[in-house]
Amino acid sequence: MYDITNFNEYQAEYKKSVENPELFWAEKAAQFSWKEKWNEVLKWNFSEPKVEWFIGGKLNITENCLDRHLKNNPNKTAIIWEPNNPNEQSQTISYKELHERVCRFANVLKKNGAKKGDRICIYMPMVPELAVAVLACARIGAIHSVVFGGFSFHSLADRINDADCNMVITADGAYRGAKEILLKAVVDEAVIHCNTVNRVIVLHRTGCEINMQPNRDVWWHEEEKNVNSNCDAEIMDSEDILFILYTSGSTGKPKGVVHTCGGYMVYTAYTFKNVFQYKADDIYWCTADVGWITGHSYLIYGPLLNGATTVMFEGIPTFPDAGRFWKVIDKHNVSIFYTAPTAIRSLEACGLNYVAPYKLSSLRILGTVGEPINEEAWHWYNKNIGKEKCPIVDTWWQTETGGIMISPLAGITKTKPSYATLPLPGVQPVLLDESGNEITGNNAEGRLCIKFPWPSIIRTTFKNHDRCRETYFSVFKNYYFTGDGCKRDGNGYYRITGRVDDVIKVSGHLLGTAEIENAINQHKNIVESAVVGFPHDIKGWGIYAYVITENKPENTEELKKEIVATVTKYMGAIAKPDKIQIVSGLPKTRSGKIMRRILRKIAENEIGNLGDTSTLLDPTVVDEIIKNRIN
């Protein structure tokens, strides 16, 4: 049950967490089951960086997610699974069953050679077995690296190779709306480029035809026949790695964000129950895919750590029609609903006819995550979904933070549309100016940094600690730098204004512009490209690509289609450019650096105010680009 029940308590908890963070978090951590207690709460410095929580503590997160609930509540539903196709049966899985399935599959992993510390890539549809696979890895101490099923072979291969995964868990195919996706075929293509993978475990989902490579590929259901469901949890150190999750950065190569067992457990559980004011009879639904951090922290770990009932949905918001979310809420009596602003905007655009048939009377609390929610969408959500009775929590956080950092506590913190409001206990945000000075006082704007560690802070980027330091800890000395711009209003409320680096949030998915450029450059007729974001009514940001061709294309529309197909095949449909402009040159400085600022302004159609272009190698390319810009 939640700790904070009113605003005074929030303030008291916050004060305590700042004055004595170690005592504060030790009290929270004591609520879990540990195999051995920690001997020191926290050691840290942001210069290496090195952050350790609950030092010397031994635990297994799955005992806290599963075994711990079996004594009092074995038959409580852990997962309600709603399939893509509304005519297929939904499933309910009790804590007892989930425990059994996790232990059984953990034995399958062991039988196939997996052991503590191994990296296992999970590339699966949103089916219960995905949660089982994640937890089974954690059970045996293998490090899971979940890759979103919408990524294509190259992105998958990159992630498998970076982590040196020796195993991939996948399915034959996936259902996504009206489409069927051939997951195993993507794995086959990826693994050609990965020489560490010696085992692929394949779940039977769609029954599509696949190729099983002898000595490498095995069926999930066949393997399960040969094992029992007793599996002791591996004893893990607090600071052993729980998982790696790749996130896009300013360079073309994604970063393997590392989270560890103890701190991640304590923080996701604490934030889940307090932000959503979770009660034992809630039915909680987070619509995020497990391939993203939100799915890790608030679909699987946070809810299960609290013994909650968590809904997992295989499909998409618009299939079979734009009323699907609302239908599922009524069907399963969802009381807490957590989704992304981009989903809200796209459903809003479909009109209220899709909302009208549903009562939505089970709803108690609403949440959003992933990007700023514009006021318009906030009001629509509040009025038409929450019926003006459900507090909305606008939760700001990142893959790197592991859990929610700035957010209202549902029904406790007074909300303000488009504001994530106040930091959670344990979180110390600051705004810095360009030279790295703290801007004190309210009515301020700057770069959002955090000046003290919280338990689920990123520990490193896998196999590349320098990159972790350079990206997050050396831009501003002794601060964790979020990469976000931020405003603080007169009441000290925070409003995140967006990224200040070369990553863009497209439909809530973080994508590096350099990654998209790499994909575009795979097309044989493209010599160079530059990608920037432009504001998009539904996606938040759209992708605008400027491309230089080697030979003048015979048919430009055809070329654009080919570029889109190339990006889809190589990286995934989420990275498809919305606008492609063929240019003869790009605005570059004398040292050859692309002036993205100018390209961004043109993409935003803000051509009156391009700033100084005199330092460009060839200022005339700008005129050409402006003239042919795509609106």
Q: Which residues of the chain form contacts with ligand 7RM (CB under 6 A)? A: 247, 292-294, 369-372, 394-399, 420, 482-484, 496, 499, 505, 510
Query: In terms of CB distance, is 144 or 505 closer to ligand 7RM?
Result: 505
For the CB of residue 576, give the shortest distance to ligand 7RM in the complex, in Å: 18
DSSP 20: -
Query: In terms of CB distance, is 218 or 258 closer to ligand 7RM?
Result: 258
Query: In terms of CB distance, is 83 or 367 closer to ligand 7RM?
Result: 367
Query: In terms of CB distance, is 298 or 546 closer to ligand 7RM?
Result: 298
For the CB of residue 537, give the shortest distance to ligand 7RM in the complex, in Å: 17
Q: Max CA-CA distance within the chain?
A: 73
Query: Hey, CA dihedral for 113, 127, 296, 412, is it positive or negative?
Result: negative
Q: Whose CA is closest to 493, among 455, 445, 435, 438?
A: 445
For the CB of residue 137, give the shortest distance to ligand 7RM in the complex, in Å: 21
For the CB of residue 365, give the shortest distance to ligand 7RM in the complex, in Å: 15
Note whether 172 and 208 are within 8 A (CB): yes
Query: In terms of CB distance, is 453 or 483 closer to ligand 7RM?
Result: 483
- H or E segment to which residue 558 belongs: helix 556-570
For the CB of residue 286, give the shortest distance to ligand 7RM in the complex, in Å: 11
For the CB of residue 392, give the shortest distance to ligand 7RM in the complex, in Å: 11
Place of tokens 């890895």: 137
For the CB of residue 23, give the shortest distance to ligand 7RM in the complex, in Å: 28
Which residues contact residue 552 at a Cβ distance below 8 angstroms, ignoring those fewer than 6 apart? Answer: none
Please give the Cα distance from 493 to 489 (Å, whole number): 5
Please give the Cα distance from 353 to 462 (Å, whole number): 47
For the CB of residue 485, give the shortest distance to ligand 7RM in the complex, in Å: 9
Q: Whose CA is closest to 393, among 408, 405, 371?
A: 408
For the CB of residue 448, give the shortest distance to ligand 7RM in the complex, in Å: 8
Residue 390 in tokens: 């459900």
Distances (CA, A) of 548 to 512, 559, 618: 20, 12, 15
Count Cβ neighbours within 10 Å for each residue of 523-536 and write b for 16 or more, e otherwise: beebebbbbbbbeb
Query: In terms of CB distance, is 282 or 394 closer to ligand 7RM?
Result: 394
Query: In terms of CB distance, is 2 or 338 closer to ligand 7RM?
Result: 338
Work out the number of other CB atoms within 10 angstroms of the CB of residue 91.
15
How many DSSP H helices and E strands does the chain contain?
A: 20, 30
For the CB of residue 280, give the shortest distance to ligand 7RM in the complex, in Å: 26
**Amino acid code (one letter) for 336:** I
Please give the Cα distance from 206 to 321 (Å, whole number): 21
Query: In terms of CB distance, is 170 or 407 closer to ligand 7RM?
Result: 407
Residue 588 in tokens: 């570059």
Pairing of strands 199-203, 217-219: parallel
Note whether 377 and 402 are within 8 A (CB): no
Please give the Cα distance from 51 to 258 (Å, whole number): 12
Query: In terms of CB distance, is 41 or 431 closer to ligand 7RM?
Result: 431
Note whether 252 and 280 are within 8 A (CB): no
For the CB of residue 426, give the shortest distance to ligand 7RM in the complex, in Å: 17
DSSP 36: B
For the CB of residue 615, give the shortest distance to ligand 7RM in the complex, in Å: 29
Q: In angstroms, how far is CA 542 from the centroid of its own chain? A: 18
**Amino acid code (one letter) for 386:** G
Q: Whose CA is closest to 292, among 227, 245, 349?
A: 245
Query: In terms of CB distance, is 370 or 572 closer to ligand 7RM?
Result: 370
Q: Which residues in 104-198 belong to E strands, given as ranges?
A: 119-123, 143-146, 167-171, 174-176, 179-181
Query: In terms of CB distance, is 122 or 420 closer to ligand 7RM?
Result: 420
For the CB of residue 246, give the shortest distance to ligand 7RM in the complex, in Å: 10
Q: Which spans in 335-407 are helix H?
A: 341-350, 375-380
Query: In terms of CB distance, is 26 or 420 closer to ligand 7RM?
Result: 420
Note whether 514 and 528 are within 8 A (CB): no
Q: How many residues does the chain have?
A: 631
Query: In terms of CB distance, is 25 or 292 closer to ligand 7RM?
Result: 292
For the CB of residue 496, give the shortest distance to ligand 7RM in the complex, in Å: 4
DSSP 256: E
Query: In terms of CB distance, is 240 or 371 closer to ligand 7RM?
Result: 371
Surface-to-core class of residue 6, CB atoms within 10 Å of its CB (0-12 exposed, 13-18 middle, 19+ buried): exposed
Please give the Cα distance from 501 to 541 (Å, whole number): 14
Residues facing 284 on adjacent strands:
310, 336
Query: In terms of CB distance, is 236 or 496 closer to ligand 7RM?
Result: 496
For the CB of residue 352, give the shortest distance to ligand 7RM in the complex, in Å: 25
